[in-house]
Amino acid sequence: MMWDWTFTFEILPVLARAAIMTVQATALGFTIAATLGLVLASIRLAFPVAGVVVTVLVELIRSTPLLIQIFFLYFVLPKAGIVLDAFTAGVAAIGIHYAAYCSEVYRAGFENVPRGQWEASIALNLSPWNTFKDIILPQALPPVVPALGNYLIALFKETPLLSAIAVLELMQTAKNIGSETFRYTEPVTLVGVFFLVMSLVSAGIIRMLESWLQRR
Amino acid sequence: MWIRMLAAMLAATLVLIALLSANAEYRLFMPGLLEGAVLTVEITLLGAVLAVFMALVAALAKLYGPLPIRWLSTTYIEIFRGTSALVQLFWLYFVLPQFGVFLDAFLVAVLALGLNIGAYGAEVVRGAILSVARGQWEASIALNMSKAQMLRRIILPQAFTAMIPPWGNLFIELVKSTSLVSLITLADLTFKAQQMNQTTLKTVPVFTLVLLIYLAISLTVTIVMRLLEQRASKGLTRGRVA
């Protein structure tokens, strides 16, 4: 059974619609990851005691599979009375998983800001919050953009996992087409091609952003 | 220092598993989950062997191969890094049979995960080889070594030390991505968990135990890699200076 072009063009619009869901999941997931990651890293910076809890939490999240975490939010949370629909649970799990990675990136960013900057802010009588917001963050963030970009691509490539809880993103749509028509070749390959193209394009954009930040 | 902390975490995890197993509701699930864990570990080990092999071959091909080989290896690396591991798994499992190649699920799992991690590993190996100080190359040329001798005796042993920490991270990624094989019907840890969850609806014990077992496996991998790192770097001062 070889490649069938007619079939390919038939399923292309269906897959394109599913791709929108994939992109939405990526955008929402990464927003959660980038924000929550910054919060976690800031907690670690500001409150050493709470920082220990954050560290253990981050290690726990990074050492267990994302798929299990998705199941956890989707199946276990309802037992505690929190019922999330599949898309929300999936996106939340992906966001929290990558927040753990992003928090390490931010931490490295904070550690890169010279100590003298803190001391100078104290000398200028800035409050800790103002120091953090006006002095430290603007210096810590630009260097970590490339690393965050890598996690954006990694997160994007994990969205097919949402198909495990039947969210209608690309992979689930391809699976559905496959089980209806008994042809997996075209849908699964097209999903692969879509991810490859999107990954390469985003890698290019991130590289451009990186060199733009360096020139500034 | 770090190793001791990790060992303490591993011990705590194991104690927690043991304590939970004292509870009848939890103990019920342990035999099945451990059975699944064995498959998870098997796939991890075989996948790791394949990944290291592919990474070495692809990195050396990309660095020193003739142009067509170089392109081939770059294509392999970009395709497997650019698409999702799940897509690769599905492709090998559902698409290959349509071209007349039938592989059983276990083989597909090892192949897909090994090739996936191997592609990431190739860049690790390439980076490590390139990080060996230039003087080492020049000295080997001065000693009239052949390219193969240079690589085998001088460059790779030094690159090896630099490779261990990133490989540790990749092996953890591998452990985590083995959970995907449950989606092509292999009865690994995740598959068993889902099955038990569906048949007994005891969601909390099942998924708690699964998380802890994965944590124990990942921590073990991290500890082994840290010990390896310690041994490999003993008595070696790696020259990061030009």
A–B CB contacts, 8 A cutoff, strictly below: 110
The DSSP annotation for B170-225 comes to HHHHHHHHGGGGGGGT---HHHHHHHHHHHH--HHHHHHHHHHHHHHHHHHHHHHH
Interchain contact, A63 vs B79, CB within 8 Å: no
The answer to whether residue B102 scores a pLDDT higher than 50 is yes
The answer to whether residue B238 scores a pLDDT higher than 60 is no
At residue B25, the pLDDT reads: 87
CA distance A40 to A62: 14
The DSSP annotation for B24-43 comes to HHHHTTHHHHHHHHHHHHHH
pLDDT band at B237 (very low <50, low <70, confident <90, very high): low
Nearest CA-CA distance, residue B194 and chain A, Å: 9
Q: What is the pLDDT of residues A110-134, one digit of tens each?
A: 999 999 999 999 999 999 999 999 9
The answer to whether residue B239 scores a pLDDT higher than 60 is no
Q: What is the pLDDT of residues A139-168, one digit of tens each?
A: 999 889 889 999 999 999 999 999 999 899
Interchain contact, B219 vs A171, CB within 8 Å: no
Mean pLDDT within A24-42: 96
Mean pLDDT within A76-82: 92
The answer to whether residue B236 scores a pLDDT higher than 80 is no
Average pLDDT, chain B: 92
Q: For chain B, give the longest Cα–Cα distance.
A: 70
At residue B61, the pLDDT reads: 96
The answer to whether residue B219 scores a pLDDT higher than 70 is yes
Burial B166-179 (b: 16+ CB within 10 A, else e): bbbebbbbbbbbbb
pLDDT band at A210 (very low <50, low <70, confident <90, very high): confident
Interchain contact, B87 vs A171, CB within 8 Å: yes
Of B91, B98, B204, the CB nearest to A76: B204
User: Any idea which of A1-5, A75-79, B37-41 has the lowest mean pLDDT?
Assistant: A1-5
Mutation site, A2, A57, A63, A72, interface B, largest B CB count within 10 A? A63
CA A99 to chain centroid = 7
At residue A212, the pLDDT reads: 87
CA distance B223 to B220: 5
Please list every residue in chain A whose beta carbon sits closer than 8 Å to the beta carbon of residue B219. 63
Nearest CA-CA distance, residue A39 and chain B, Å: 24
CA distance A54 to A73: 19
Average pLDDT, chain A: 92
At residue B42, the pLDDT reads: 97
Mean pLDDT within B149-159: 90
Query: Quick check: A69 and A135 in contact, CB under 8 A?
Result: no
Interchain contact, A65 vs B85, CB within 8 Å: no
Mean pLDDT within A83-102: 96
Q: Which residues of A touch B (CB under 8 A)?
A: 1-2, 59-60, 62-68, 71-72, 75-76, 79, 157-161, 163-164, 171, 174-175, 178, 183-185, 188-189, 191-192, 195-196, 199-200
The answer to whether residue A97 scores a pLDDT higher than 60 is yes
Helices (H), A127-216: 128-130, 137-158, 170-181, 185-215
The answer to whether residue B7 scores a pLDDT higher than 80 is yes
The vertex-A63 CA angle with B117 and B159, nearest 5°, equals 45
At residue A213, the pLDDT reads: 81
The answer to whether residue A1 scores a pLDDT higher than 70 is no
Q: What is the pLDDT of residues A161-189, one digit of tens each?
A: 999 998 999 999 999 999 999 899 999 99
Mean pLDDT within B26-32: 92
The answer to whether residue A216 scores a pLDDT higher than 90 is no
Mean pLDDT within A31-48: 94
At residue B242, the pLDDT reads: 38
For A172, half-sphere exposure in the C-beta direction (CA atoms, 13 angstrom radius) is 18
Residues whose CB falls within 8 Å of the CB of residue A175, separated by 6 or more in sequence, listed in order: A163, A187, B90
Q: What's the token pair of residue B183?
A: 């989606």
At residue A215, the pLDDT reads: 78
Please list every residue in chain B whose beta carbon sits closer than 8 Å to the beta carbon of residue A72. 207, 211
Interchain contact, A64 vs B95, CB within 8 Å: no
Query: Which ipTM score applies to this complex?
Result: 0.88
